[in-house]
Structure 1
């Protein structure tokens, strides 16, 4: 009771409201839930999970965990997640920081969808128990003991198609602006580019690999470094749209024209890419969120396969490639 009272005083709600939040009950507003859980995390207060598995099964709350507000495609994914949960009588709790690991250890949720590379594979394996399945949207974990499933983008064939199209347009000097190197998306996208170039007898110059972190600012900074080299490629292939947008801003500041002087491509098909006329690869984001949630609910109810599922992606040719 002492812990509940302290949390209630800090958040300005009743002790019963705090208790309802921690037990996953549906009679508390989303904003209040998020505030209570945030304060619980800050003060390290989470009650132990109930021992009775029947109590756990009564929870109708699903966590969606992500880490990067800059990438606007999250909104469509969340819409897909929310729609699927609403149709099936479940509630959504969104977590956006390291404190989400505490939420995964508490008893108010019955499963999670994780799109957060900062949460390690080791933690996912330890958290994905028989009573708490996890669907991953950013990686595949090869551990048959973990109660997990992966729903990812089929990056490789889509990037191969884009790269081959660029080769067919006559491009020979390629640069690549990568995201976080350890992520599955970046590894698959870069491998597809290099393999496609090799099939066309074009060797990728590793000096033309620039490092980013999927954010626009990192794309801007990487392009500035590329410009300083005084050896522009024919085309800059970016691992996502945000970095491509940042790179184009740096190019414009230096009076380098896109696509007349250099072509640029992205990956994601964000709203900004449409406005910028960016050649990119479109991911069915709403469908990804919906399908990931559908698979998770099937696992919760004991009916789903654990085999990974890959979503098709399509090339969108626009004006940033001549």
Structure 2
């Protein structure tokens, strides 16, 4: 049997409103009555309905984080950053990974949310966002700015440009690219930086050397299988994230190819395995962006109203999957 506020009121011989006043620590209740109500709550193991309280206060002191799946390890660092800032400021964190997330995007349950899910439709965000329910999006900028949605994105373009310029300086010319889902902003920005540096140096890039992946390890391996059907391998394989790069590395090594002597390879994200495998990649400060996302959201919940987009810098980390100097022995 679930004990409700009416049961407590009946047992204590007081009104429901008096029990509510005690639960909310209001001063308009005598000490004797307060003590009796609290004693009965303890005896009956009564737990106040947090959702019901939030309907009146409009503050649940809970924020929501929605992300797409568990396949990418960097999510854990982002969650840690979000949780640390939220906890330090008296907020609980609710995590949701499914399409049912929308039912929690309401201030009867949560005060605002952070979205890292490319599959969530823009219409869903527009329906949920309002003055009493701010939203922060990661890796996503709306085509039309919304007054209650703040975007916090990684600067993909500059580090990929820097990486490509150094790759060309080291002597690499024949490049292939494994991209993520083509509709995502981060993939578009990474590929554009890749193309722009090649074009600036008058190095042609053939579209058949672009392979579409899904940011998962298996798609990197599949791209290599297709690549192996070509008469000539690229000198370097640029991957839009680490998972696909790691899948590509495994597939190359299974076929007896050496990295970087036969094919060099790069990633993006700097996941935990990237360092272990010596993968050259772009390092994103994931803990910090989770922390900043939570800070931005909670500040806006508290009325700051700063919805200007924010960009986070990233840096290239050079490791052994790219040779210091490329020597073409073919």
TM-score over 0.5 (shorter chain) = yes
Q: 1:193 to 1:91 in 2, by over 3 A?
A: same
Q: 1:228 to 1:174 in 2, by over 3 A?
A: same
Quick one: distance in 1 between partners of 2:305 and 2:234?
47
Alignment match, 1:55:
57
The runs of at least 4 consecutive aligned structure 1 residues that moved more than 3 Å come to 19-25, 142-146
Matched residues, number: 282
Report matched runs for 1:146-165 at 5 Å: 146-165=147-166
Deviations 1:184-226 (A, max 9, x none): 1100000000001111111221110001000001111111111
TM-score normalised by the chain length of structure 2: 0.81
Alignment match, 1:122:
123
Q: 1:265 to 1:145 in 2, by over 3 A?
A: closer
Alignment match, 1:143:
144
Report matched runs for 1:1-322 at 5 Å: 20=49, 22-23=51-52, 50=55, 55-56=57-58, 58-105=59-106, 107-322=108-323
Deviations 1:162-200 (A, max 9, x none): 111111111111100000111111000000000011111
Quick one: distance in 1 between partners of 2:309 and 2:215?
24
Quick one: distance in 2 between partners of 1:167 and 1:251?
22
Between 1:117-126 and 1:264-273, the stretch displaced more is 117-126
Quick one: distance in 2 between partners of 1:171 and 1:317?
15
Q: 1:235 to 1:24 in 2, by over 3 A?
A: farther
Q: Which runs of 5+ in 1 are unaligned?
A: 5-15, 26-49
Alignment match, 1:33:
none
Quick one: distance in 2 between partners of 1:250 and 1:23?
54
> How far did residue 106 of structure 1 move?
6.4
Larger gyration radius, structure 1 or structure 2: 2
Root-mean-square deviation (CA), in Å? 2.1
> How far did residue 22 of structure 1 move?
4.1
Between 1:105-114 and 1:130-139, the stretch displaced more is 105-114
> How far did residue 288 of structure 1 move?
0.3
Q: 1:285 to 1:193 in 2, by over 3 A?
A: same
TM-score normalised by the chain length of structure 1: 0.83
CA contact (8 A) 1:174 1:235 kept: yes
Deviations 1:37-62 (A, max 9, x none): xxxxxxxxxxxxx5xxx632x21000
Alignment match, 1:43:
none
> How far did residue 145 of structure 1 move?
3.9
Between 1:101-110 and 1:129-138, the stretch displaced more is 101-110
Q: 1:261 to 1:145 in 2, by over 3 A?
A: closer
Alignment match, 2:43:
none
Q: 1:145 to 1:259 in 2, by over 3 A?
A: closer
Quick one: distance in 2 between partners of 1:205 and 1:301?
51
Q: 1:24 to 1:113 in 2, by over 3 A?
A: farther
Q: Which runs of 5+ in 2 are unaligned?
A: 5-45, 324-330
Between 1:140-149 and 1:71-80, the stretch displaced more is 140-149
